[in-house]
Amino acid sequence: MPESWFLNKMEKLEEIRKIYEELKTVQMVKKRECLFRRKSFLQLEKYKCLLHNGKTIFREKILKNHKEGNAAIILPITENGEYILAIEPRVFTKDTVDIGFPAGYIEEDENPRRAAIRELEEETGYQPESLEFVGSYYPDQGCSGACNYYYIARNCKKIGTQHLDEGEFIKYVLVTEEELEKIVNLGMIKGLNSAYLLERVKNRKEKR
**Residues contacting a copy of itself: total by CB under 8 A:** 80
> Counting Cβ atoms within 10 Å, is residue 32 exposed (0-12), middle (13-18) or buried (19+)?
exposed
When the beta carbons of 129 and 181 are compared against a copy of itself, the nearer one is: 181
**Min dist. Cβ of residue 4 to a copy of itself (A):** 14
**Residue 169 is a binding residue for a copy of itself (CB under 8 A):** yes
**How far apart, in Å, are the Cα atoms of 196 and each of 129, 177, 188, 192?**
23, 17, 14, 6
**Min dist. Cβ of residue 201 to a copy of itself (A):** 10
Stretch that binds a copy of itself, among 94-102, 112-120, 125-133, 152-160 (CB under 8 A): 94-102
DSSP 8-state code for residue 51: E
**Residue 164 is a binding residue for a copy of itself (CB under 8 A):** no
When the beta carbons of 127 and 183 are compared against a copy of itself, the nearer one is: 183
Q: What is the DSSP string of 11-37?
A: HHHHHHHHHHHHHSEEEEEEEEEE--S
Which 104-143 positions form the footprint of a copy of itself (CB under 8 A)?
Answer: 135, 137-143
The residues facing 29 across adjacent strands are: 48
User: Among residues 36, 66, 130, 132, which is the contact residue for a copy of itself, using CB under 8 A?
Assistant: 36
CB atoms within 10 A of CB 184: 14
**Min dist. Cβ of residue 54 to a copy of itself (A):** 11
